[in-house]
Amino acid sequence: MVEPRPPCPKAKVAVFISGTGTNMAALLYASRLSDAPFEIVLVASNKQEAAGLALARLEGIETFSHAHQGHSREDHDAAMEAAAKQAGAQFILLAGYMRILSEDFVRRWEGRILNIHPSLLPKYKGLDTFARAIEAGESYAGTSAHLVTQELDAGEVLAQVRVAIAPGDTPETLAARVKLAEHQLYPRAVADYVSRGSDPKHLLARLRELALALPETYERESHGSPGFRVGTEKTGKFFAHFHDGHHGSDRVAVLVKTGSMDELLHLVETQPESYLKPAYYGASGWIGVVLDRPDLDWDHVEDWLAQSWQRCAPARLTKLHDVAEMF
Ligand code: GAR
């Protein structure tokens, strides 16, 4: 019988604010629900007097503030980042943080930094979103939770909520209703996003994309789990197996072929968080590369898949591959 999966550790998030911090408060109280998959380890601001800092302190959350005046964008971001790292943050959530971030900072946190923006993106990026939506005669305003990328308010939209514009709405009356929607949307979007890393469905989808991008590969089930083969349908060989809590471990992993038993045993012994020895496959050199970990590096998984493909593919393919590698 497969044991139930133990609860995953909560993702640690830092929230950056510049003002009232009502979105931060919504995140904070949502994080205190018993099934919340994230916890706030730091609330940081570029404004010492930001009201949200006082609330965070009252609720026992660590705070940090660093005025941006007199500092270059890079230096200011570096100070905020250092505080987030020091607190152990794995994700950064912008919640009314009214600063453009430096390119390097965004690059370093790519995929791990989210924002809430008061419009239905891609409409009305930037400032004064309510006045612009009212002026344009829109029937709806709204709010978007999105990933942060180099381009302002242009990263992948994770979730949105529409808010009807009433006749006679001013930017202020509309903003107040949009905030109510934001307080529902942002905690939910964050919970869903940080859970992706432990969601077997999401992990399998990503793995499938990488495995099937290798030459002459296809998917076939093996012992009830998805597997990936290289070669023809008739003579192909498995080079990767998806492993979801079966085979004597409760982790989600991809099984790939190592070069030797020594390599396998060494990796499992020295990096038990990253590798496992599968119960039924281990003797033949298959190692489990653990996928459900917050700091998973997909480039690393891609390298393992390529190596395993190389070890399992028929000579006619690996020869071609070796030649291609020479150029
Ligand atoms: C929120 O409405 C948020 O969407 C907006 O600032 C407000 C902050 O309120 N953010 C932006 O405009 C970012 N471009 P809060 O401090 O009460 O959470």
Is 117 one of the catalytic residues? yes
Among 64, 67, 61, smallest CA distance to 47 is for 67
Give pLDDT, residue 84. 98
Which residue from 22, 124, 149, 186 has its CB within 8 A of the most atoms of ligand 1, so it is best to mutate? Answer: 22
Q: Are 216 and 111 found together in one domain?
A: no
| 288 CB within 6 A, ligand 1 | no
Predicted local distance difference test score (pLDDT) of residue 70: 85
Using CA positions, which residue lies closest to atom 1 of ligand 1? Answer: 96
* Distance in angstroms (rounded) separating the CA atoms of residues 186 and 201: 22
Q: Which of 150, 179, 197 is where one domain is finished?
A: 197
* CATH number for position 97: 3.40.50.170
Is residue 6 included in any domain, yes or no? no
In terms of residue numbers, what domain contains 140? 11-197
Q: What is the pLDDT of residue 319?
A: 77
H helices, E strands: number in the chain: 10, 13
pLDDT tens by residue, 204-233? 999 999 999 999 999 999 988 999 999 998
Give the whole-angstrom CA distance, residue 219 versus residue 213: 11
- Could you tell me if 209 and 152 lie in one domain? no
pTM as predicted? 0.78
How far is it, in rounded angstroms, from Cα 39 to Cα 276? 28
Which of 197, 214, 241 represents a domain boundary (last residue)?
A: 197
Is any atom of ligand 1 closer than 6 Å to the C-beta of 182? yes
Low-confidence ranges of the chain (pLDDT < 50): 1-3
* pLDDT tens track for 241-275: 999 876 556 899 999 999 988 999 999 999 999 99
> For the chain, where are the alpha helices, taking DSSP H only?
22-31, 51-58, 73-86, 103-108, 129-135, 171-195, 200-212, 261-270, 298-312, 315-325
Domain boundary, last residue among 134, 167, 197: 197
Residue 1: the pLDDT is 46
Atom 5 of ligand 1: nearest residue by CA position: 96
Residue 2, in any domain of the structure: no
Q: Is the CB of 22 under 6 A from ligand 1?
A: yes
Residue 213 Cα distances to 201, 216, 239, 321, angstroms: 18, 9, 13, 14
What letter represents residue 141's amino acid? Answer: A
Q: Report whether residue 19 contacts ligand 1, using a CB cutoff of 6 Å.
A: yes
117 Cβ inside 6 Å of ligand 1: yes
23 lines ligand 1 (CB under 6 A): yes
| Together in a domain, 107 and 54 | yes
| 21 and 44 housed in the same domain | yes
Q: 83 near 76, Cβ under 8 Å?
A: no
Catalytic residue among 66, 68, 76, 117: 117
Determine the angle formed by the axes of helices 171-195 and 22-31, rounding to 10 degrees.
Answer: 30
Ligand 1 atom nearest residue 19's Cα:
16
Q: Return the pLDDT at 2.
A: 46
Type of residue found at 34: S
